[in-house]
């Protein structure tokens, strides 16, 4: 076997792993793939939401997420409140209108994630809400991250519902153990609206 072919074979697993994780060159575009989104509770929790970083800069993402005064998230940051929605911070200048955030709507099951819709100011979640429309209300220092004191309208979910959705993520291996209150919260979510 020639040297070039041997080197290619040795690099193939690394290149495949980088593609699956959505990793990119230091100055290339950031593209989250379906494999970039795994079990939400395997990400790092911060005050009820979860974060990770596609470029391996989790410490910088956590610094921004934990800042009491707000901060700009570093490129590659992923922020998720529920398993089916994600925000991905792109490189500066990628989408000035959304402060470089891409909004992603996911379908999730035991086999993994499927990107249902992705974009900037035009992504509408399965509840009929425009992601950008809600996040644009966040005060500037919070870099479009919504929390109860950041200026965004409240989400139509209780804390119990959010936690139940997080723990019921079907991608988690082994599955998270649902508490009785999680089961009740999920029943409430699935109940038909009262007339």
Quick check: 19 pLDDT over 50? no
Quick check: 149 pLDDT over 60? yes
The SS3 assignment for 189 reads: helix
* Sequence-ordered strand ranges (E) for the chain: 44-46, 49-53, 77-80, 85-89, 101-109, 112-119
Report H helices in the chain.
3-21, 58-66, 131-135, 159-167, 180-190
Tell me phi and psi for residue 26, to 5 degrees.
-55, -30
HSE-CB for 42 with a 13 A CA cutoff: 11
Quick check: 17 pLDDT over 50? no
Closest among 33, 77, 41 to 57, alpha carbons compared: 77
Confidence of residue 18 (pLDDT cuts 50, 70, 90): very low
Quick check: 115 pLDDT over 90? yes
pLDDT at 128: 85
pLDDT at 189: 84
CB-CB contact of 117 with 123 (8 Å): yes
Quick check: 13 pLDDT over 50? no
CB-based burial of residue 129 (10 Å sphere; 0-12 exposed, 13-18 middle, 19+ buried)? middle
pLDDT at 194: 60
Confidence of residue 28 (pLDDT cuts 50, 70, 90): confident
pLDDT at 126: 81
Quick check: 140 pLDDT over 70? yes
Residues in Cβ contact with 63 at an 8 Å cutoff, skipping those fewer than 6 apart: 71
Distance separating alpha carbons of residues 19 and 153, to the nearest angstrom: 36
Quick check: 21 pLDDT over 50? no
pLDDT at 25: 57
Mean pLDDT in residue range 79-103 = 97
What is the percent of the chain where pLDDT is above 70? 85
CA angle 116, 77, 19 (to 5 degrees): 65
Instruction: Identify the bridge partners of residue 114 per DSSP, sorted by sequence position.
Output: 107
Distance separating alpha carbons of residues 180 and 14, to the nearest angstrom: 43
Quick check: 168 pLDDT over 70? yes
């Amino acid at each position: 076997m020639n040297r070039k072919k041997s080197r290619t074979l040795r690099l193939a697993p690394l290149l495949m792993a980088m593609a699956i994780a959505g990793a990119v060159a230091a100055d290339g575009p950031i593209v989250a793939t379906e494999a970039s989104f795994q079990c939400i509770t395997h990400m790092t929790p911060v005050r009820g939401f979860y974060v990770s970083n596609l470029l391996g800069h989790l410490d910088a993402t956590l610094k921004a997420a934990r800042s009491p005064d707000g901060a700009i998230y570093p490129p590659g940051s992923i922020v998720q409140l529920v398993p089916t929605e994600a925000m991905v911070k792109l490189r500066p200048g990628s989408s000035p209108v959304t402060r470089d955030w891409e909004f992603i709507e996911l379908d999730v099951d035991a086999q993994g994630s499927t990107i249902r819709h992705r974009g900037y100011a035009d992504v509408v979640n399965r509840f009929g809400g425009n992601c950008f429309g809600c996040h644009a209300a966040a005060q500037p220092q919070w870099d479009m991250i919504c929390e109860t004191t950041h200026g965004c309208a409240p989400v139509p979910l209780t804390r119990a519902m959010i936690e139940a959705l997080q723990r019921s993520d079907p991608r988690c291996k082994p599955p998270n153990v649902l508490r009785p209150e999680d089961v009740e919260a999920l029943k409430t979510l699935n109940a038909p609206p009262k007339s």
